[in-house]
Amino acid sequence: LKMIAHQAMEKGTGARGLRSIIEHVMLDIMYELPDQDEGMKYEITGDVIEGRQQLFKMPEPKTKSA
């Protein structure tokens, strides 16, 4: 979140900039998510926000139910 806020401040865009940055990062997930199996976890790091790394997805650890 700090990286997203930092980018918005650099661009001088305020709250609308925050939304734009988040939408840009989440765009692939929004289209990919309906086709994914349940239990996938997406990790969005500062490198993903800055475009230096692709979005990382991994299986969610299974938890035992009571």
In the chain, what are the domains?
2-59 (1.10.8.60)
* Dist CA 28 CA 41 (whole Å): 14
pLDDT tens, position by position, 8-40: 888 888 778 888 888 888 887 777 777 777 777
For residues 28-54, give the mean pLDDT: 78
The answer to whether 40 and 59 are in contact (CB under 8 A) is yes
Per the model's pLDDT, the better-predicted residue between 66 and 23 turns out to be 23
Per the model's pLDDT, the better-predicted residue between 38 and 66 turns out to be 38
